[in-house]
Amino acid sequence: MPNVNSAPPVPGLAAFNALGAEEAEAGLLACCACRAFAREVAALRPYPDLDRLAEAAEAAVRGLDWSGVREALAAHPRIGEPPRTTERPPAAEPSRGSGPVAGSGRPGHPESPESPEPPGHSAREAAWSRGEQAGVGTAGREVLDRLAEGNRAYERRFGHVYLICATGLSAEEMLARLTERLGNDEDAERDVVRAELAKITRLRLAKLLGAAS
């Protein structure tokens, strides 16, 4: 399996199309940390433009089974909490298992020594997460406390981290949407999670290819 933490930066679409399969998958794992997603999107190269790549990526996200979504969710920090990073030497590659990542899927959940390290915890993804959650940086203590409480309530209800495409949103907006989504049933919330994951993936693809600052 490709090691996303050792992946080189991808400067543009032409370079991405020309990468070897493992390198391309490693870059894609930075955008959506599910191995099935990365394999599918990498296999469909070459892409004529970023829009076609983004369409393929969205279709792949929406086509994931729930275990694949949970694998991707494991790479996302709680809203309002710092991202976790794990830098590993290239030799420490994950095993070829295709099932969901061990553990609860929540950031900070300890993995057993035998478990493969999940993708999506490099310094690059951590920097992206901080930028995406920039709206939390100006929030007051009360809002941050309510976000923390809301995160816990959400995880008790649905069993996974609260995911939202936070780019451009204030902490108050993220909190309001969290509160609203607590009223969803499980099927409705899974649809929302897939949609939010697709949005995040599209934005990160643009960053990966240098099409966004």
Q: Give CA–CA dist 102/76, Å, rounded.
A: 15
**DSSP notation for 152-205:** HHHHHHHSS------TT--HHHHHHHHHHHTTS-HHHHHHHHHHHHHHHHHHHH
**What is the predicted pLDDT for the residue at 151?**
95
Give the closest residue to 120 by CA, choosing from 178, 69, 165.
Answer: 69
Cβ pair 92, 44 in contact under 8 A: no
Tell me the pTM: 0.76
Instruction: Tell which residue, 212, 209, 210, has the closest CA to residue 24.
Output: 209
What is the spatial distance between Cα 153 and Cα 162, in angstroms, rounded to a whole number?
10
Q: Are 181 and 192 in contact (CB under 8 A)?
A: yes
Retrieve residue 42's tokens: 């990498």
User: For residue range 35-93, what is the model confidence (pLDDT) as tens digits?
Assistant: 999 999 999 999 999 899 999 999 999 999 999 999 999 999 898 876 655 443 333 33
**HEC assignment per residue over 110-127:** CCCCCCCCCCCCCHHHHH
Residues 90-109: pLDDT tens digits? 333 333 333 333 233 333 33
Question: Who has greater pLDDT, 106 or 153?
Answer: 153
- Does residue 171 contact residue 142 with C-beta atoms inside 8 Å? no
Model pLDDT for residues 135-144, shown as the tens digit of each residue: 777 778 899 9
pLDDT band per the 50, 70, 90 thresholds, residue 212: very low
